Structure 1
Amino acid sequence: MRNKSFVFALLLIVLAVVSYPAGMTTAAQGAVDEIAQIDQEIKGLQQTLDFFQSVAARKGEDELAGQIEQHAFAFFQRAKQLHEVPPVPQNQERKKQQLAVDKKLGAQKESLKQLQMQYEQLTASYWEQLLPELAIHSQGPSRKAAAAMQAADPVFDPFEPNDTLATSYPVTSGNIYNSKISSSTDMDHYHFNSGALTGTLDVTLYVPASVDYDLVVRESENKLVDFSITEELGGIETVSFQVKPNTTYYITVYSMKQHFSTTETYALRFGKVATVLTVAAPIDISLPAGEVPAYRFTAPETGTYRFYTGPYGGFGALNDTILYLFENEEMTKLLGYNDEATDGSLFSEIKIPMTQGVTYFVFVSHYEKEKGVHARLTAALDTKAAVSSPVIHEAAANDGSITEQQVVTLSSGVLAADVAASVAVSHLPAGLQPIITRSSDQQITIRFGGKALEHEKKHSVQNVKITIPKAKISGADADLVTSPFAIDFTDTEPLLAGTPQDIHLAAGMKKILKLTAPSTGSFEIFTGYYGGNPAEGTSNTWLGVYEDYAQTRLLASNDDGDQPPFSKVSLSLQSGQDYYVVLTSASSSTVHARLTVRYLGVEYVYNAKGQLIQMKQGGNILTEFTYDGNGNLIKKQVRK
């Protein structure tokens, strides 16, 4: 960041540029200026593909909509790739750095022209395929024929003939135009000449209650600017687009469903062109040298806001911008200034607290007054989403359920009333379902339904994240993603081979224990007298062995073994794998018994030095080995 005196020096430069009389400066010609024009064409063609995707989806052609989406994505990525230039040394003088960027970008001019042609060919084919009625060759009757039709038609339909772009009716911003779609093939075209105007133009179509009309804005025959095709009877269609100087825009009212009315009129309202910047509504600026755009911004709520520049259309190249934020339109009270968001980035960013309802003024210029601005300007509420708990724990029942809640709080902004349906929770263990509630304007609560299918300690996760879409947060320009939090599981109580457990259960209860097989081979799992004492009496038990805690994959079960009413199961287990042993009563009574696991194969027991000290089978020691202090075997005892 430059020092304070330099800031005021730059401010004087901007003031000088803003005060240039019209026509006193002209855009420099060259490859970079040509690319700026190509970028504007590509942006419009990309918007046209987005429109066709919506049209295909509305017509129920989902496969075609998916195909268009893939084409649009591939073309957009190609545009970004062609605008990418290798990083230049950040210690270069700013002017040299921008020149290096321009030189490398200029080398891509022909490739960008080729991409534009491919865009045009693709969009032309979709016009014919999806909306032939709006394609140039079939846009209604000639002016003469249309006039004859109007004379023969008793229905009063103002502004006719206007069924083609060539016969479109001229409109003025700020006016309302009342007319009719009087037949299934009727469509009304209007045109707006921007002249010297720049800024945002809002166009609203008020549709009669019994019909469904659509609204499309084009800059040329096949290049779409904006559209509104709400599928609703009597719906209000609204578009808002950036007006460029000396440009003609064509506004079309028609019905994709071929609805019409000979009695009811629609109202087409044109707002005034205004240089207004609103939150989360980026403005793509492409102006010649000497012209510095200025925008009014009224804070919709009190909070910290970010104003920043970025690639034109989301795909353009680096542009060395400067941002100024003033308290007044006369530019005498400077609130903020930035020429580089980060060292060497060339783009700019201002972050500043603002008061609800107060209007501020944003100016954007190129660092070099001989160059024009070709960048995207965005204003956004600087908000973050924080979780209340870094760790969510498994419930005390130790069954994979969670009773704790996670709360997400916004630092600023307001959540939409229907935000809950759009929130996503990623990396949640299988079996758990998020239950999301909007608790307040800035808070959502997440409860966890279901039970995790796997919930031992080793199944704990550390990277659960919650994402709130930007469309559901006022003023946000990007989806909000929380920092990761953990879900911590507790190990199931273990059952060890060779270590009997005495268990007492009340009537109707059951016990689940985890057995991790120490070896691969055959095992016996059985119940017997509590404490090994016959005086404790018998217990009518039931045993089951499962692969999963949820008890959906049963491996073996038994009611009465070889010593009824005690139970016994025999089965093969894999070393290191977890199994779940379930003990309960076979007669809904209490359980008072000893549970034992016995490995039937030969078990090899090693000491801490890795020396074999025992060979066991069925809980009985077959052979013992003894070593001296040097690790030499001194005794081997075979037991009978």
Structure 2
Amino acid sequence: MLNTLTFFQELALQKGDKKLAKKIEKQSAAFSQKNLKLHQTPIDSNKQIRQEKINKSLQKQAAHIYSLQKQLEEQVDKYWEQLIPELSLKQKPQEQELQPKLASRTATAFAAAAPVLDPFEPNDDVDTSYPVTSGNFYNSKLSTAKDLDMYRFDSGAQSGELTVTLRVPEDKNFDLAVMQAPNKVVGMSTRGGVGVTENVTFQVQPNTTYYFSVFSMSRDFSETTSYLLSFSKITTVLNLAKPIDISLPTGETPGYRFTAPVTGTYRFYTSPYGGFGAPFDTVLSVFRDEQLQQALKFNDEAVDGSLFSEIKVSLDAGVTYFVLATSFDSTKGLHARLTAALDASASVVSAALHESSANDGTLTETQTVVLKNGTFTSDAASFVTVHNVPTGLQPLVTRVNSTQLSIQFTGKAVEHEQKHRAANLFVTIPKAKIAGADADVTTDTFALEFTNTDSFTLAAPPDLDLAKGSKKIYKFTAPSSGDFELSTTYFGGVEGSGPSNTKLAIYEDFGETRLLAANDDGDHPPFSKAIVSMEKGRDYYVVVSSADNNAVHARLLARYTGVEYVYNAKGQLTQIRQNEQVLSEFTYDSNGNLSKKTDY
């Protein structure tokens, strides 16, 4: 209560009544002196005896202390009515009866005339005071010369120091008072001067109701420009990948604390309330300080034409930042979802992996996936998907550390010529396996490069010199459709090189899974021979090995046994060929008649 008298002394000075201010000062000093005298305690070296004396003294003075308290309250009530009756937390009986009617009329008038002129009206007294939350921000107006706005703050379990800040329009002079019923001033800020920010810092007691009053002793007001009322303690916490749905009325803006768990780039963005529904025009801001003076980033539209907002910003581990979400349209409340997430991304280290030197479809090189802005869960490797893997290969994923994965390919690619190059492999990691991510993360693409198998043609038969127990695979591309004879003979075509006991097998695939023909001894044992029907342009794989597990020293031959008919664009037969040799050739005159046939 003595604080309240000090408040009235300052108020009287601001109103220019120095005489009243001096009177209040003397009364305050007198009350203080009487209070000290009534609370004087006896002195005794024995603590127990001293405490007993103190208790007896207080009991003896209890009636006088109560009487002094009542006198102080009565004097305070008189000054409320004399100096600033509109801020009094006490109402006369007739005022209490009239207030609901006035509130109803005020609400109706505002709804009809200017629905967003003052979004929290009616809030001119204790009964209609607007409930506020520590950490939120309130935009409103003093819309008439006698207007005042009252806000109610219920502390609940909260305690400690709290600062209430009033940011005043640059051309107005508003004031701020913090009170505790009945008519007890906790703090007041009346600095004077237009555009001056008012602050009141006080100690919050748990389970206590406080009232914040915004008014103007100079009777300033504005129907167009808002003030901003805020708190020093933003208590609501925004956690990674845990969206908060916001639905608040016009004028009320939520603030959130966000502590970065790791250093990296983060995304703050708005989306439809509840995850679905209509878009809402929002604005996002991120600040370094709780007073919202050090802005890091601001965003209205995530992309041009979008109503929702998105901010990407680099934050430091362990540092607390403050996020503000508002409606772009000041005449509307806020109805949207707010999410904070790590801007996780992943990339592969190698642009391509290459077939092993065995040239058999295996890969010994490994791929590394590096995660940026996030950490893998301990079991992430088990849930990774590698896309577009060639048939025959199986990816084996291993978690190297919290930001790296290793991918090894086991098995053999069924098709592994250069033309079978796989150019569009990529990796997907589920969002649940990246701490703080709000979406699955996909890498850039990489390739698997294959090496062509050694090949041979009809005109260039290869000579083989294989070690004991080994084999050799050749690719043969059919130059024509029809039957081909594949056989082995003397190395270099020289009979003196000696025979080799060979074995032939012809497959449709390098993996030797689709056998077309096989032979141990042909017409000239121990050499081999097999006849296979082939399609022009298609690859076939010829496997040469020893029939008796010895070394092989031989030549591999291919011969076309069929006849090929060649036609021109007019459908006229021009050649008959066999084994890449022309047997007959046909010539036509300008009328399309056969004019000449040449046999070779």
* Residue 310 (structure 1) aligned with residue 271 (structure 2): yes
Shift of 1:19: 13
Quick one: structure 1 residues 399 and 636, their matched pair in 2 at CA, closer, same or farther if it must change by over 3 Å? same
* Residue 429 (structure 1) aligned with residue 390 (structure 2): yes
Query: Paired residue for 2:353?
Result: 392
* Residue 559 (structure 1) aligned with residue 520 (structure 2): yes
User: Aligned to 2:253, what secondary structure does the other structure show?
Assistant: coil
User: Aligned to 2:419, what secondary structure does the other structure show?
Assistant: helix
Contact 1:393 1:404 in 2 (8 A): yes
Contact 1:499 1:597 in 2 (8 A): no
Shift of 1:444: 0.7
- Whole-Å separation in 2 of the counterparts to 1:308 and 1:354: 15
Quick one: structure 1 residues 474 and 173, their matched pair in 2 at CA, closer, same or farther if it must change by over 3 Å? farther
Query: Paired residue for 1:322?
Result: 283
Shift of 1:326: 1.7
Shift of 1:356: 1.1
Query: Paired residue for 1:637?
Result: 598
Query: Paired residue for 1:586?
Result: 547
* Residue 439 (structure 1) aligned with residue 421 (structure 2): no
| Pairing 1:474-623 to 2, within 5 Å after superposition | 474-604=435-565, 615-618=576-579, 621-623=582-584
* Residue 459 (structure 1) aligned with residue 459 (structure 2): no
**Aligned match for 2:258, one of 266, 289, 297:** 297
Contact 1:307 1:380 in 2 (8 A): yes
Query: Paired residue for 1:284?
Result: 245
Q: Which amino acid aligns with 2:496?
A: A
1:335-384 C-alpha deviation (Å, 9 max, x unpaired) = 22111111110111111111111111111110111112121111111221
1:280-335 C-alpha deviation (Å, 9 max, x unpaired) = 11112222222211111011111111111112222222111011112222222222
Q: Which amino acid aligns with 1:534?
A: E
Quick one: structure 1 residues 404 and 334, their matched pair in 2 at CA, closer, same or farther if it must change by over 3 Å? same
1:422-450 C-alpha deviation (Å, 9 max, x unpaired) = 11101111111111111122111111111
User: Aligned to 2:376, what secondary structure does the other structure show?
Assistant: coil
| Pairing 1:261-272 to 2, within 5 Å after superposition | none
Q: Which amino acid aligns with 2:543?
A: V
The TM-score with structure 2 as length reference comes to 0.58
- Whole-Å separation in 2 of the counterparts to 1:410 and 1:330: 35
| Pairing 1:160-239 to 2, within 5 Å after superposition | none
User: Aligned to 1:535, what secondary structure does the other structure show?
Assistant: helix
Query: Paired residue for 1:370?
Result: 331
- Whole-Å separation in 1 of the counterparts to 2:420 and 2:301: 45
Which sections of structure 1, spanning at least 5 residues, go unmatched?
1-15, 27-171, 175-272
Quick one: structure 1 residues 415 and 303, their matched pair in 2 at CA, closer, same or farther if it must change by over 3 Å? same
The TM-score with structure 1 as length reference comes to 0.55
- Whole-Å separation in 2 of the counterparts to 1:416 and 1:381: 14
Contact 1:498 1:598 in 2 (8 A): no
Quick one: structure 1 residues 601 and 479, their matched pair in 2 at CA, closer, same or farther if it must change by over 3 Å? same
Shift of 1:560: 0.4
Quick one: structure 1 residues 442 and 288, their matched pair in 2 at CA, closer, same or farther if it must change by over 3 Å? same
Quick one: structure 1 residues 498 and 20, their matched pair in 2 at CA, closer, same or farther if it must change by over 3 Å? farther
Query: Paired residue for 2:105?
Result: none
User: Aligned to 2:375, what secondary structure does the other structure show?
Assistant: coil
Quick one: structure 1 residues 284 and 435, their matched pair in 2 at CA, closer, same or farther if it must change by over 3 Å? same
How many residues align structurally?
Answer: 381
1:20-55 C-alpha deviation (Å, 9 max, x unpaired) = 9797899xxxxxxxxxxxxxxxxxxxxxxxxxxxxx
Contact 1:17 1:369 in 2 (8 A): no
Contact 2:120 2:130 in 1 (8 A): no
1:118-138 C-alpha deviation (Å, 9 max, x unpaired) = xxxxxxxxxxxxxxxxxxxxx
Contact 2:283 2:298 in 1 (8 A): yes
**Aligned match for 1:416, one of 374, 377, 381:** 377
* Residue 339 (structure 1) aligned with residue 292 (structure 2): no
Query: Paired residue for 2:214?
Result: none
User: Aligned to 1:458, what secondary structure does the other structure show?
Assistant: helix
Q: Which amino acid aligns with 1:459?
A: H
Quick one: structure 1 residues 612 and 390, their matched pair in 2 at CA, closer, same or farther if it must change by over 3 Å? farther
- Whole-Å separation in 2 of the counterparts to 1:389 and 1:17: 59
- Whole-Å separation in 2 of the counterparts to 1:402 and 1:592: 30
- Whole-Å separation in 2 of the counterparts to 1:20 and 1:332: 31
Quick one: structure 1 residues 621 and 324, their matched pair in 2 at CA, closer, same or farther if it must change by over 3 Å? closer
Quick one: structure 1 residues 19 and 515, their matched pair in 2 at CA, closer, same or farther if it must change by over 3 Å? farther
* Residue 402 (structure 1) aligned with residue 402 (structure 2): no
**Aligned match for 1:359, one of 317, 320, 337:** 320
Contact 2:251 2:333 in 1 (8 A): yes
